[in-house]
Chains A and B, each alone.
Chain A
Amino acid sequence: MRPPARTPDDDATRDPELARLLEEWTVPALPDTLDRRMLASFRARSPRASLWRRFFTTSLHIPLPVALAALLLLALAFWMPRGKSVPPLESSEPLSGPRTAQFDHKPPMPDSLSGFEPVREMNVTVLPSDAQ
């Protein structure tokens, strides 16, 4: 709950003579830079700030050791000599012939599917390789 405003009891303790003397100390004017900094800070945090403005005004705080380590890694990655390209593997076993399947005769592709009827029942027959 908020406390009450200044009461007469508060002022009763005041020493007018000392208070008058304390008024001799004045404060310098507010620096103009404060207003500019404050406005820039508000704009950078404002939800209405456009994306590009936030992109250019938002700052990231990175600890110095982390930044240095990142720079070092980047430099190493750039200057490190490229590794030799891996030679193709040579097999000790000679290839015993072509292993790829190949159709000698491509099945004719119909121009259209008119008149096509799918089979109602499919019977699969497995033939031995020498049956051809």
Chain B
Amino acid sequence: MGDPDGDLLQRAYAGDEGAFIDLYERHRRPLFRFVYRMLGSVPVAEDVTHECFLVLLTHRGRFDPSRASLRTFLCAVGRNLSLKQLRKRGVETLVDELPESVDREPGLSAAPLARLIEGERSTAVQEAVASLPPLQREVLILFEYEEQSLADIAQIVEADLGTVKARLHRARERLRRTLSPFMSQTTVPLRRVERMA
């Protein structure tokens, strides 16, 4: 079998603990990162990541290697479980677009330079991504952070390619508006570097 994941998975199904550990270590971090960025909580992301691998172990027929990679499959399971968690919190997960809330935008009124000095840019980005509607957020995280292809993302979120592109475009537009003060701060040194070069 040419696919290393497929080979490891078959051995894991046969009870090979080493093969399962290899497989788990290949995918645990990306899956945990994705789920954490969707939900913003380490304990919940841990539970969801654990559950994703349990689905892989217990529902053997659900993963079809001819249709998608194991990474895509696990992300799809993680995505569905994350949306379930969000629904439990009362978050609307079915609509593409939500009205932008001024309250949730990270400190636009505060001086961006002050926040930069305090090292809060990370928090600002986190809040800005968290303020995206879930359907835009998942696409943005998978593309920008997990570097998945648009076609893979379309499989994971069960949408067509055009929908994925539209959601990604809207997410970026929204983030540019939300983070514009921070973006202007970051671009200055870059332009200087370009001029120097």
Q: Tell me whether B154 is interfacial, beta carbon within 8 Å.
A: yes
Nearest neighbor of B124 in chain A, beta-carbon distance: A24
Measured in the bound complex, the distance between the Cα atoms of B154 and A49 in whole Å is 38
Given known contacts A1-B67, A5-B149, A21 and B57 CB-to-CB distance under 8 angstroms: no
Number of interface residues of A (CB under 8 A): 38
What secondary structure prevails in chain B residues at the interface with A? Answer: helix
The residue that B15 contacts in the complex, of A17, A35, A46, with Cβ under 8 A, is A46
Among B46-54, B75-83, B86-94, B97-105, the stretch that binds chain A is B46-54
Check B68 against A28 for contact (C-beta < 8 Å). Answer: no
With a cutoff of 8 Å between Cβ atoms, the chain B residues found around residue A35 in the complex are 28
With a cutoff of 8 Å between Cβ atoms, the chain B residues found around residue A2 in the complex are 66-69
With a cutoff of 8 Å between Cβ atoms, the chain A residues found around residue B183 in the complex are 17-18, 21
Check A43 against B58 for contact (C-beta < 8 Å). Answer: no
Check B176 against A46 for contact (C-beta < 8 Å). Answer: no
Check A38 against B53 for contact (C-beta < 8 Å). Answer: yes
Q: Tell me whether B182 is interfacial, beta carbon within 8 Å.
A: yes
Q: Tell me whether A6 is interfacial, beta carbon within 8 Å.
A: yes
Q: Tell me whether A82 is interfacial, beta carbon within 8 Å.
A: no
Give the number of A-B contacts (CB < 8 Å): 109
With a cutoff of 8 Å between Cβ atoms, the chain A residues found around residue B121 in the complex are 21, 24
Check A6 against B148 for contact (C-beta < 8 Å). Answer: yes
Check B125 against A22 for contact (C-beta < 8 Å). Answer: yes
B1 CB to nearest A CB, Å: 14
The residue that B155 contacts in the complex, of A3, A18, A26, A34, with Cβ under 8 A, is A3
Q: Tell me whether A10 is interfacial, beta carbon within 8 Å.
A: yes
With a cutoff of 8 Å between Cβ atoms, the chain A residues found around residue B175 in the complex are 18, 22
Measured in the bound complex, the distance between the Cα atoms of B68 and A38 in whole Å is 23
A52 CB to nearest B CB, Å: 16
Check B122 against A38 for contact (C-beta < 8 Å). Answer: no
Given known contacts A20-B186, A42-B20, A34 and B50 CB-to-CB distance under 8 angstroms: yes
Check A3 against B122 for contact (C-beta < 8 Å). Answer: no
Nearest neighbor of A48 in chain B, beta-carbon distance: B15
Q: Tell me whether A19 is interfacial, beta carbon within 8 Å.
A: yes
Q: Chain A interface (Cβ within 8 Å of chain B)? A: 1-7, 10, 13-15, 17-22, 24-28, 30-31, 33-35, 37-39, 41-43, 45-49
Beyond the given A15-B176, A21-B121, please list 11 additional residue pairs across the A-B interface where CB-CB is below 8 A.
A2-B69, A3-B154, A6-B147, A10-B143, A13-B165, A22-B129, A25-B122, A33-B46, A34-B32, A37-B50, A39-B21
